[in-house]
A = this chain, B = another copy of it.
Amino acid sequence: MATLVVPQNVSVVEDAENLRKAFEGWGTNEKVIISVLAHRNAAQRKQIRLAYWDLYQEDLVKRLESEIKGDFERAVYRWILDPEDRDAVLANVALKKSSDYHVIVEIACVRSSEELLAVRRAYHARYKHSLEEDVAVHTTGDIRKLLLGLVTAFRYEGAEVNSRLAKSEADILHDAIKDKKINHDEVIRILTTRSKTQLMATFNSFKDSQGTSITKVLLGETADNEYKRLLRIAIRCINEPIKYYEKVLRNAFKKFGNDEDAITRVIVTRAEKDLQLIKELYYSRNSVPLDQAVAKETSGDYKDFLLALLGKQD
């Protein structure tokens, strides 16, 4: 369930003209940018970019970058791109900072198989390399194995579940954790090649036999390293993406000075998907509406833009 609110009658040509007017004259009219862009879906935003080019022979994305600044600009820039192109940008930016590899795991594990292929295609077009090529160059060892497996996966998406297999692979995962070998090839094989439905059955089987979830057991694991962190994120993104995103937001607000990149990323990438569910979980978990938390922790046009994406009506 999306939070994005799109009016019934949209003229992309008028939108392009209004944006142009917002850029001209004294200063930029940020209110117009928000009222147009934060209420259009991905297909409409693409049409607006095309219409703007046709009318003014100017790249709307570049113009926006020169008109606005800071967190607001970053949020608008990410929002206006096609979803697969945005993910390609997010992955590429994340590759430059090893502490951000969880963004790559998130894209690889939350997106559908066809969506992930579209991201890989967009990555080619934008960076003249393959995503896996850049992942492989930037990483080594177990982290490389895990990330490569995740970004190159094209998981089967049928509903079939093999319960016997779920049980035996839950045992493999459990043995690997017990033997302190969570970097074992078999763990990576299971997590990177099985269908999400099959993996959910495996995680359930783990919980049934161990009495506690695999992510909790991993948390208690002594090895406290980056590989373990990414492995847990992969499992959470596959198994319970809404819970995962709610926690990303909660942690982002907790951070000193907030983590605007994370706040922007969750709201921008989920507004057309399941942000409503994330909002509901956030409220039940924190007893504060997500909009209110966002309003408290952000300011200015950036705040108004995020609130619009969260479903606030003008």
**Which residue in B133, B158, B194 is a CB contact (below 8 Å) of A124?**
B158
Q: Judge if A157 is at the interface, Cβ distance under 8 Å.
A: yes
- Whether the Cβ atoms of A156 and B129 lie closer than 8 Å is yes
**Could you name 10 residue pairs across A and B whose Cβ atoms are closer than 8 Å?**
A117-B154, A124-B154, A124-B156, A130-B154, A130-B155, A132-B153, A137-B193, A140-B185, A144-B185, A148-B149
* Cα A130 to Cα B197 with chains together (Å): 13
Question: Which positions 173-194 of chain A face chain B at CB distance < 8 Å?
Answer: 185, 189, 192-194
- Whether the Cβ atoms of B132 and A193 lie closer than 8 Å is yes
**Which residue in B137, B152, B185 is a CB contact (below 8 Å) of A154?**
B152
Given that A152-B152, A154-B120, A185-B144 are known contacts, is A130 also in contact with B160, CB under 8 Å in the complex? no
Given that A117-B117, A136-B193 are known contacts, is A130 also in contact with B153, CB under 8 Å in the complex? yes
Copies in the complex: 2
Name which residue of chain B comes closest to A157, CB basis: B124
Q: Judge if A216 is at the interface, Cβ distance under 8 Å.
A: no
Chain B residues near A255 (CB-CB < 8 A)? none
- Whether the Cβ atoms of B193 and A133 lie closer than 8 Å is yes
- Whether the Cβ atoms of A136 and B189 lie closer than 8 Å is yes
Chain B residues near A189 (CB-CB < 8 A)? 136-137, 144
- Whether the Cβ atoms of B136 and A156 lie closer than 8 Å is no
Q: Judge if A204 is at the interface, Cβ distance under 8 Å.
A: no
Given that A144-B185, A152-B152, A152-B153 are known contacts, is A128 also in contact with B193, CB under 8 Å in the complex? no
Given that A117-B117, A154-B152, A189-B136 are known contacts, is A128 also in contact with B160, CB under 8 Å in the complex? yes
Other CB < 8 Å A-B pairs besides A132-B192, A136-B189, A137-B193, 9 of them? A117-B117, A117-B154, A128-B158, A130-B155, A130-B193, A133-B155, A133-B156, A133-B193, A140-B185
Chain B residues near A155 (CB-CB < 8 A)? 130, 133
Q: Judge if A195 is at the interface, Cβ distance under 8 Å.
A: yes
Given that A136-B193, A193-B136 are known contacts, is A156 also in contact with B130, CB under 8 Å in the complex? yes
Name which residue of chain B comes closest to A133, CB basis: B193
Chain B residues near A185 (CB-CB < 8 A)? 140, 144
* Cα A128 to Cα B140 with chains together (Å): 32
Chain B residues near A158 (CB-CB < 8 A)? 124, 128
Distance of A192 from chain B, by nearest CB (Å): 8
Tell which of A131, A156, A195 has the most Cβ of chain B within 10 Å. Answer: A156
Tell which of A130, A149, A194, A195 has the most Cβ of chain B within 10 Å. Answer: A130
Cβ contacts A123-151/B at 8 Å (1 or 0 each): 01000111111001100100010001100
Chain B residues near A156 (CB-CB < 8 A)? 124, 128-130, 133
